[in-house]
Amino acid sequence: MKVGDTIKREVKRRGWSILRTSREANTHYASIHAFLTRDADIRLCVLQRLCDALDLELRRKKRRK
């Protein structure tokens, strides 16, 4: 499962609007709107803020050699 899917599911579970999510994550409304309404790319710093606001942990996947 992708990180984006987890975040979208958690936002929906909490019942947060796009405006509330952007305020909680201290991020621009347009970035959150583009990310939650369609499969837009999001910067890692914004992704980290979203995870912090939702009390989720962002971990890197170990690469296989």
1 — pLDDT class (breaks 50, 70, 90): low
* CATH number for position 49: 1.10.260
Domain that holds residue 20: 3-53
* pLDDT above 70 (res 57): yes
Residue 33 lies in a domain: yes
Residue 19 lies in a domain: yes
Kindly report, residue by residue over 3-53, the tens digit of the pLDDT.
788 888 999 999 999 999 999 999 889 988 888 888 777 788 888 888 889
Residue 61 lies in a domain: no
Residue 23 lies in a domain: yes
In SS3 terms, the chain reads as: CCHHHHHHHHHHHHCCCHHHHHHHHCCCHHHHHHHHHCCCCCCHHHHHHHHHHCCCCCCCCCCCC
Residue 64 lies in a domain: no
Number of structural domains found in the chain: 1
